Every structure is written in C-alpha cells, then in structure tokens.
C-alpha cells in the first residue's frame, strides 16, 4: 500500500492535482504492480514564504 506525499507551492488547481494523482497512480500500477485501490496520495501545499530553494525563500526569488 504505497503512500505518496507530494509537496508543491500553493496555487495548483484541482484539475492539475487530479491529473497528477491519476498519472502517479498509473505509474505505480504499471511499474510496481500495485493495486490502484491501495495507493494513497497526499498533496502538501506550502506558501512561498515557507519554501526555500538554494537558501532563498521562493517569495524572495519573485522580488528579483
């Protein structure tokens, strides 16, 4: 029973998350032989003020 946690910046649409969930599920079914019903996917949305890359907050990268 795989549990997949996906962390993304806030702002993705329900349509985008739906498509991501479907495609990730498809890959696990095809490549790992997992039953579709046993796959759980959780989206964790973080604000740009709560996410940093290369030591710089995403909120600060937008200002440059």
What distance in Å separates the CA atoms of residue 32 and residue 63, rounded to the nearest whole number? 42
* Catalytic residue flag (residue 12): no
The residue annotated as part of the active site, out of 2, 9, 16, 52, is: 2
Q: Is the dihedral of CA 26, 31, 28, 36 positive or negative?
A: positive
* Residue 61 parent element (H or E): helix 58-63
| Residues identified as active-site | 2
């Amino acid at each position: 029973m795989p549990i997949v946690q996906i962390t993304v910046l806030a702002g993705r649409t329900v349509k985008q998350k739906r498509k991501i969930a479907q495609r990730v599920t498809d890959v696990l079914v095809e490549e790992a032989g997992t039953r579709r019903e046993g796959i759980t996917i959780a989206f964790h949305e973080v604000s740009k003020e709560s996410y940093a890359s290369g030591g710089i907050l995403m909120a600060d990268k937008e200002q440059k």
